[in-house]
Chains A and B, each alone.
Chain A
Amino acid sequence: MILYDYVLSASCYKVRLMAALLGTPLILRAVNFHPAREHKSPEMLALNPKGTLPILQDGETVLTDSADILRHLTMDHPEWRSPDDDRWLAFASDLNESLGLARLHDVIGYEADIDTARAAGVTALRKLEAHLTEQRFDGLIFLTGKAPTIADIACFPNTALAPDGGFSLDPYPSIRLWMRAVRSLPGFIEMPGIHRLHELAHPA
């Protein structure tokens, strides 16, 4: 499988992370999204007329939406699926327009209605915090239950990268605990702005 990838993209990271957690090898093709806007080049538009990343090519299949790609990667991994995934995949896709957009604005100067994006970002973080707090009361650490699913992998990147876009995660203890749980999954990989978990200190 080939992933057309941009190293700083939260959506591409969803795919890299999911594949790493599954142990599925990916061939990465670096696309110069910034500054060269290579995702809008004729070659890339031929592959994906929307001109977006990520793009996953698996034989004849070409997928251009990260939610579809997560579903595709976990086709034979029912343990990574829950009936509640769809609503969180939609929530994750909305995060691109709030947290994700604010980040692109602050980092690489993307045009944005930044006040709207910031307000929507805070609303989304509060909603996520409220849900994860409920989950904790029920003894559940992940979005849909005791175990992680594609819902968690879809929502994690833009949430964890929110500080790049000027959002503090200090007010959201349940989000921070959940992020810690995601970062401790076997096979977890980092990206710039999301550091790996450091070993907790062991008593001597």
Chain B
Amino acid sequence: MNTAIENHWYPVAMISGIDGPRETLLLGKKITLGRKDGTCWVKDATGKALPTVERFGHLWTSPGQPNRDLFTIPEADSPGRRLVDVGSVKVKCSPLRAVENFLDIAHFPFVHTDILGAEPHTEVDRYDVKIREEVDEVWATKVKFYQPQAAKSAAGGITTEYMYRVPAPTCSVLYKTCPPRPGEWDIITLFVQPLTDEWCEVWPWMALYDDESTMSEMVSFQQLIFMQDRSILENQIPRKLPLDPGMEVPTQADMTSVAYRRWLKKIGYTYGAQLVAA
């Protein structure tokens, strides 16, 4: 057992989607989950109860003994936000690759053409990235990018500002300019359940200010975006995320990815990673 991997919290279900008991995989091992009298439960293959947290509309568990609480997103609690259960998409890729792709804005004009990016606006300006030691999270701030349709609620092209946060090895939270409320951030998360080291179930979740769109429209928009990523993710080579910084040459746009990999190495998180001699 590798505690550096097992002692984390992982998303395993959308709470509103749990009807009967259900089997799934976590880190390559079978688990069962369900809900009884309004409370969710998870068991491992031997029938042992695993710890649970219900947060952000999702059920979280851990095969180990997490030494801290699941992260929080205090901004998501502010009144007026609409909380969007996007559902899940399964992807044959390393969980770390799924997070890394989410952190990378350079692909927007090419993969999310005319929505999250458009040629010729392909430049990513310098921004700030660091590992915040006090909370042990990766943060990228002051990321700016021109977007033709930044959200369902956007009426036209705007320069969007982003902050990216990696609060857990297989989770990322992004904060981006909210088109109808320029002083506030929209929150979009990617919670990744590692089914195995090359197969994941991805649970996006959002907390948005948008008084116009229907819930279905917001869900559709996000599913459209994520499905554009899926085919890219399934075709990445190498399949696992290389943790030797020498192996893929970083560009400015990839600074968040470099910090993410460095942080994974620091905390010894190697599930879905490809370790190469330094």
Chain A interface (Cβ < 8 Å from any Cβ of B): 6-8, 30-32, 34-36, 38, 106-109, 163-164, 166, 191-193, 195-196
Contacts and interface: CB of A to CB of B under 8 A. Distances in A.
A59 B16 CA distance: 36
Interface of B: 14, 16-17, 85-90, 92, 113, 201, 214-217, 219-221, 223-228, 230-231, 234
Report which residue of A191, A192, A196 has the largest number of chain B beta carbons within 10 angstroms of its beta carbon: A192
Specify the main secondary structure of chain A where it touches its partner: loop
Given A107-B90, A108-B88, A109-B90, A38 B228 contact: no
11 contacts: A8-B224, A8-B227, A30-B214, A30-B219, A30-B220, A35-B85, A35-B86, A107-B227, A108-B88, A108-B90, A164-B231
Contact of B216 (A38, A106, A164, A166): A38
A107 B220 contact: no
Contacts of B225: 192
B92 to A, nearest CB: 8
A163 B231 contact: yes
A176 to B, nearest CB: 15
Contact of A6 (B89, B220, B228): B220
A164 B221 CA distance: 18
Contact of A107 (B17, B215, B219, B230): B230
B182 to A, nearest CB: 25
Given A8-B227, A35-B14, A35-B17, A107 B113 contact: no
Contacts of A109: 88, 90, 201
Contact of B227 (A30, A166, A192, A196): A192
Contact of A30 (B85, B88, B216): B216
Contacts of A31: 216
B230 A193 contact: yes
Contacts of B226: 192
Given A109-B90, A196-B113, A32 B227 contact: no
A107 B89 contact: yes
A32 B219 contact: yes
Contacts of A8: 223-224, 227
Contact of A32 (B92, B216, B228, B231): B216
B259 to A, nearest CB: 29
B102 to A, nearest CB: 16
A20 B13 CA distance: 37
Nearest to B218: A30
